[in-house]
Amino acid sequence: MAAHGSNSPIIDAFEYLYAEPEEEWLHRAFVEPSEYGRIASTRSMLVLGPHGSGKSALCHFLLRSMKAPSDKRLAVLFQPRQPAEHQSQHENARNYLTQIVDLTLRELLIYIGTNPDAFSQLPSWLHDTLYWLLQSHMQGHPVAVADRLQDQLQDDGAKLVRKILEKAPKYSLYKNPSETEIVREIAEVRKYLGLDSIWLFVDGFERWLDIDQTLLAEALQALLSILSLFEIPGFAIKLLAPSEIESTLMTSSGILRRRLDVARLSWTDDALIKIVEKRLALLTGMSTCSLRKVAEDDRLVELLREYGGDTPRGWLDVGRPFIDYYIRKNHQQLLNGSQFEEIIKQNPPRLRIDGQFDEVYLGYKKLERVPPGPFRVLQYMLKNHHRFCGRSELYYCALNDNPKEPQQGDQEYVDPGSWKSGFDNVIYHLRKSIEPDPRNPTYILSERGKGLRVKYVL
């Protein structure tokens, strides 16, 4: 991993294309999306975007931007774990609240440790509120918490935090506080600590998409009900979610009551070009770097437009092989036409099917609807992409749903003469649907004696 000082190249600028491993330098490659001004306001927001649209990058950028000492906003990042199947909606809700409150109190402690003056300005009548909150609603033993925070703080701050954690409140504020009361007390403490607001970032829903749909819907409802507690002055929620769960999220009362605004992450081609160029500049250690330095004319941009889809990840992923070549040539050599074509040939955009919507993609480009017959053949071949599939196998098992190829004499057996030309027609239409050049197929390859095989599968 390269050192990430401000001038040295970032050699993994095109490596991961996920926010988490890029956290250290992502802000240097960040391009503000068109809705940024609204997303960065104090309004609570639901930010929706498809996979790879930059939600987590946006989250990390905002978190980082709030680290300035003069910034009076406290950032709390909550990445809810996948809900457990055996837990009820109520239990899930309680767990989420416990986690959010714990995270918030920890961030408040770090803030106090980093800004000891803030604590000295806290009115004496509020000290016991803070002690009560920490003792009653922070998870873990106070000593263990103090030890864990020690590394993040200077000596004075660490000592102050330890002292606060060891202090017992003179009185217990509530006997059985409701969730609303706990959150309200936190909001009051934050105010008197001199903080303008607490921003609660909720991110990391991608891993939820694989779970059972009913469980997903219930867990989302549980989470939304807890988040409604934070729709109060002093808090701003930034909920970053994949578009796949939009319909459930839009039923939230927070949306209906306009307590949560909705923003959809979208990118113009110009913005996407800028994103790729910024990363390229980081990779090369230059202050700026145009895509026109990588390949002749605008062919790279045209390719990205064609196959990169409309997300940053798409463009970065599709552009990666060309960038790799450019870097290998020490960014001295501009790719000419034949070199460009050669790279495409060796690294064509990957073929995949989106199982949820039965859509076919080349790279990040959604193809026009593939007719049903060819689609079924493609699905079957993708499942068996590691080998050749005979025509007969494809006819019976892909097109006609037979569990296995029948032999001559079996009831399901049909004379090949009666289906071969029809089958060839299916393959013709399949190639026509997915191949950039059907006469020179890249993806659906045939070999005499072996059958058909699909290549360059994601």
The residues that touch other proteins, with contacts defined as CB under 8 A, are 6, 27, 30, 32, 36-38, 40-43, 61, 64-65, 67-71, 93, 123-125, 128-129, 132, 169-175, 178-180, 184, 188, 224-226, 228-229, 232-233, 252-254, 256-259, 261-263
CB of 189 to other proteins, least distance (A): 11
Q: Which residues contact 391 (CB under 8 A, 6 or more apart)?
A: 420, 423, 451, 452
Nearest to 165 by CA among 140, 115, 131: 131
Question: For the chain, what is the largest distance between any 2 Cα atoms, rounded to a whole number of angstroms?
Answer: 93
Please identify, using beta-carbon distances, which residue of 274 and 365 lies nearer to other proteins. 274
Token pair 């330098």 is found at 25
CB of 251 to other proteins, least distance (A): 10
Please identify, using beta-carbon distances, which residue of 104 and 228 lies nearer to other proteins. 228
Q: Name beta bridge partners: 451.
A: 447
How far, in Å, CA of 337 to CA of 299, rounded? 8
CB of 278 to other proteins, least distance (A): 12
CB of 32 to other proteins, least distance (A): 6
As given in the structure block, the two tokens for residue 335 are 């790719």
Please identify, using beta-carbon distances, which residue of 189 and 389 lies nearer to other proteins. 189
Residue 94: is it exposed, middle or buried by C-beta count within 10 angstroms (0-12/13-18/19+)?
middle
Amino acid at 99: Q
CB of 94 to other proteins, least distance (A): 11
CA–chain centroid gap for 87, Å, is 26
CB of 201 to other proteins, least distance (A): 15
Residue 240: is it exposed, middle or buried by C-beta count within 10 angstroms (0-12/13-18/19+)?
buried
Please identify, using beta-carbon distances, which residue of 191 and 305 lies nearer to other proteins. 191
Please identify, using beta-carbon distances, which residue of 5 and 409 lies nearer to other proteins. 5
Please identify, using beta-carbon distances, which residue of 133 and 360 lies nearer to other proteins. 133
- For 30-61, the DSSP string reads ----TTHHHHTSSSEEEEEE-TTSSHHHHHHH
HSE-CB at 373 with a 13 A cutoff on CA atoms is 13
Token pair 């000295």 is found at 120
Please identify, using beta-carbon distances, which residue of 48 and 397 lies nearer to other proteins. 48
Please identify, using beta-carbon distances, which residue of 113 and 308 lies nearer to other proteins. 113
Task: Give the neighbor-by-neighbor strand order of the sheet with 73-78.
Answer: 73-78, 197-202, 235-242, 44-49, 260-264
CB of 36 to other proteins, least distance (A): 5
Please identify, using beta-carbon distances, which residue of 94 and 365 lies nearer to other proteins. 94
Cα of first residue to Cα of last residue in the chain, in angstroms, is 26
Amino acid at 367: L
